Structure 1
């Protein structure tokens, strides 16, 4: 791969040439090596090139999500810098919303924040197994929000009409993106610590937490740091993710596992069964769900309790060194009579970590 490219000569042709030389490297990793964003690398292939064809399409979820049911079963991928969440299923019930939209279904369950969706592409890539088809959506900085891949059993006949319906007038291979926003980090307001503890105990729904923290001048991680060691928050060994996933698998515990980025959160409901470590990656490799976690990116882990009308909601939450949430996992009740005692036991057995965060 050429390492002599500079921002001034990053033409679409140069980017395509660099990708041709960089066999076996994923688009996200290659873009980082080239000093650009992933969306710019994808856009360079707009039109038809050897091995890849790209069409710019509408990006707003209201235009896209209702049409995806026509594709049948697909693989939906949502990721952040440290974790990839892949779920097989069909996009079913779409609910629009100016601030937050959602897709609901037994397999594909997402929470969508439309203001972050800025670019969309339909991508066809020639591989040794045939043509791989995907829809890819990016934010203003060119970072991936969600990708949807057709599978062997998908309705491939619906692909052409769907792309034609979503195709936009602008088919330029050039893409100008906004600077990536810096991570907020932990935001703490020590003056409101006692109020936070008092109001925390009055919550009746987990969704009330972010509003409470914001009202008191904090964010999620800041609030956890502020009250760690109290009733609601226990800091866990940063290396505990592997033991946690193995314990969930061994117990046959159903979970609700969230992975997201600013524009999209994807949720897995069910068991985690096949846990595999591959280098720095900690993986769940199940029939309908895959998780790929960079365990070496996990800097802080907390077991968190939030009061609800149905009893305490206990979660395992992992953050990176910048303070960004990597993934969040709750226990899923197995029927109305399940008091989640098994889930609470898994969390209780995790080793505490008393060192003060840097």
Structure 2
């Protein structure tokens, strides 16, 4: 739906003042992409002074260099989301590197970056009830958010403004050209898949990262691969198990890894979780430096997945939406060269047992 720049700006001001909605929620109400909402505020020279006002500066598309220049901003909050899950992590952007279109950050902020999907970047000054919010926000060609970096009270504001000046783009015209989302690639029929070969190669894996190569080699979607895998390595579990999983990790102080991603980013939390609670359709982790917000009603399937490695079996719990897109993956915390935590393996085993009892009683 085409909307004028001024209509978008006015609607954002009114909705923010009335309901204090997030920009992604306002964009849905306006039936536009979030990237369109942000880009409509490009070209405003005056800093915002009223709740709902924004000043947005379009950035140069020099993404890998940009990631290496965020460290001086100090401690910030990194946010990566998809339609069903939001992953928020506090820390510093350290040890950034890239090779081709793939970037890596290692540290408390732990990222795997796929720059081929990045299309638009903005520096945002936004007035909220708590005062001025400063952020860097990145979007794909369809206007969907890939990654956001929010300044915190401890962050270095002069360094942020210096960063924006350094990477400010020449074109500061409001608005952005949004491209339609590509059509989802249809799965091959099961009978067209070399299931025997696929299962043999799965069993021969020596590293979890080989799994993506298997999917490409056998032209499988991830959920189709799980459906066709050997029962020894995969098991479907009820979607309601996710809350139990997080609560159990918190109760047992079992450190985990939580991977949340989209087409251009995977963000990873490593460590324990402590505060887990349900609010409506949301399952939440609300720890001091890590937050996770998961829409339980968006989960279509949940799987326990086991992959052979040189360090032994590695077990994950993986959640998918109705389109077969990954929502979040949970692992026991581990480093290459070390076996999987027995406490995590036992916890997942208990989850499977509980789900079987529920199924038997149904």
Please give the TM-score of this superposition, normalised by the length of structure 1. 0.92
Residue aligning to 2:64:
62
Would the alpha carbon gap of residues 92 and 178 (structure 1) be closer, same or farther in structure 2, given more than 3 Å must change?
A: same
What's the CA shift for 1:327? 0.3
Equivalent-residue separation in structure 2 for 1:84 and 1:286 (angstroms): 14
The residue matched to 2:93 in structure 1 has which SS? coil
Cα distance in 1 for residues equivalent to 2:263 and 2:88: 17
Paired residue secondary structure (2:175):
coil
- Once the 2 structures are TM-superposed, how far is the Cα of residue 219 of structure 1 from its aligned partner? 2.2
Aligned match of 1:14: 7
Q: Are residues 1:116 and 2:117 paired?
A: yes
| Structure 1: distance between partners of 2:25 and 2:309 | 41
Distance 1:234 1:46 in 2: 49
Taking the TM superposition and a 5 Å limit, the aligned residue runs for 1:47-196 are 47-48=43-44, 50=48, 51-105=53-107, 107-184=108-185, 189-190=190-191, 191-196=193-198
**Structure 1 residues 321 and 337: alpha-carbon distance in aligned structure 2, compared to 1, 3 A threshold:** closer
Determine if contact 2:302/2:318 at 8 Å carries over to the other structure.
yes
1:222 counterpart = 2:218: no
| Deviation digits for residues 54-101 of structure 1 (CA, Å, limit 9, x no counterpart) | 100123321310110010000000000000000000001111121311
Match of 1:40 in 2: 36
The match for 1:250 is 251
Matching residue of 1:288: 289
CA distance in 2, matches of 1:329, 1:87: 16
The Cα shift of 1:337 comes to 7.4
Stretches of structure 1 lacking an aligned partner (at least 5 in a row): 1-5
Given that 1:44 and 1:173 are in contact with CA atoms closer than 8 Å, whether structure 2 keeps it comes out as yes
**In structure 2, the residue corresponding to 1:305 is in which secondary structure?**
strand
Deviation at 1:182, TM superposition (A): 3.7
State whether residues 298 and 322 of structure 2, in contact with CA within 8 Å, keep that contact through their aligned partners in structure 1.
yes
| Structure 1 residue 22 displacement after superposition | 0.9
1:140-160 deviation line (CA, Å, top 9, x unaligned):
000000000000001112111
User: In structure 2, do the counterparts of structure 1 residues 34 and 128 end up closer, same or farther at CA, with 3 Å as the change threshold?
Assistant: closer
CA distance 1:182–1:80, shift in 2 (3 Å)? farther
Provide the TM-score with structure 2 as the length reference: 0.91
In structure 2, relative to structure 1, the CA distance for the partners of 1:262 and 1:334 (3 Å cut) is closer
- Report the Cα offset of residue 47 of structure 1: 2.8
Say whether residues 1:28 and 2:24 are aligned partners.
yes
Shift of 1:135: 0.2
Alpha carbon RMSD of aligned pairs, Å?
2.0
Residues 312 and 163 (structure 1 numbering): CA distance in 2 closer, same or farther, change over 3 Å?
same
Shift of 1:181: 2.5
- Is residue 187–residue 223 contact of structure 1 (8 Å, CA) maintained in 2? no
Q: Deviations over 1:176-235 (max 9, x none)?
A: 11101244476564441111111111000001011112111212111001126x111000
Question: Taking structure 1 as reference, are residues 279 and 176 closer, same or farther at Cα in structure 2, changes over 3 Å only?
Answer: same
How many residues were matched structurally?
Answer: 346
Greater shift, 343-352 or 169-178, is seen at: 343-352
Q: Which runs of 5+ in 2 are unaligned?
A: none
Q: How does 1:295-310 map to 2 (within 5 A)?
A: 295-310=296-311
Task: Pick the aligned partner of 2:213 from 194, 205, 211.
Answer: 211
TM superposition shift of 1:333: 3.8
Greater CA drift, 279-288 or 51-60: 51-60
Question: Structure 2 vs 1, CA of residues 295 and 207 (structure 1 numbering), >3 Å: closer, same or farther?
Answer: same
Alpha-carbon distance, 1:283 to partner:
0.4
The answer to which of 19-28 and 295-304 deviates more is 19-28
Counterpart CA distance in 2 for 1:192 and 1:235 is 22
Say which SS state the counterpart of residue 96 (structure 1) adopts. Answer: strand
Contact map agreement 2:41 2:175 (CA 8 A) in 1: no
3-state SS of the aligned residue for 1:158? Answer: helix
Q: Does the CA-based 8 Å contact 2:236-2:301 persist in structure 1?
A: yes
Give, in whole Å, the separation in 2 of the partners of 1:344 and 1:168: 49
Supply the distance in 2 between the matched residues of 1:308 and 1:247 (Cα, whole angstroms).
26
